Amino acid sequence: MRITGGSARGQIIKTLPGLLVRPTTDKVREAIFSMLVTMSAGWEKGLDLFAGSGALGLEALSREVKWIDFVDQNNRCCQVIKQNLAKTGFIDRAHVYCCPSMKAIGFLETSYDLVFLDPPYADTHLGVLVTQLGKSRLISEDTLVTVSHAARSALQTRYENMSKIKEKRYGDTCISIYQKEATS
């Protein structure tokens, strides 16, 4: 797996062998950032939930996001993320939290410009997580929340105070982008 754009373009990143992690493919990562760049730019902080190998967050760092917080509950994934951060030279622009995503939503205190959710496709609690994220202090009206999910598992157009603003399908993967609704 390689970084597809930005300053680290072409660098190979490590992934975990086997079926433990389903890394976001190069094609899908390129598509995600193509969609995001048409919606906004100048991102300062990002959050990569269910980070796995850290591919989405690493891609964001390579594309000039200043800081990424990575979250994964698997210790082996957290170690791989740290190795990938060191290899790409981004270790001083990130922090890795080794805990469940729902727990991280409860203790993180900053607002993010970008949030990536790439849970296992079998995760049946994705809607609950998106709802909790929308209620949290981590999301502002400018935050773009990108959710990768199985195309066969459609997400709602609205969760609490967040609405789907774009959706694209790539094979079995669907990318849904949400944004918090403006308050009057």
Is residue 20 one of the residues assigned to a domain? no
Is 16 within a domain? no
Neighbours of 171 (CB within 10 A): 9
Task: Spell 73-95 as b/e; 16+ CB within 10 A means b.
Answer: beeebbebbbebbeebebeeebe
Q: Among positive and negative, which fits the CA dihedral 35, 84, 65, 70?
A: positive
pLDDT tens, per residue, the chain with 184 residues: 889 999 999 999 998 876 555 667 778 888 899 899 888 778 899 999 999 999 999 999 999 999 999 999 999 999 999 999 999 999 999 999 999 999 999 999 999 999 999 988 777 788 889 999 999 999 998 999 999 988 888 888 999 889 999 999 988 889 999 998 876 5
Please say whether the beta carbons of 175 and 148 come within 8 A.
yes
User: Could you tell me the two tokens for 41?
Assistant: 């730019």
Domain count, the chain: 1
Domain boundaries, position 93? 26-180
CATH code, 60: 3.40.50.150
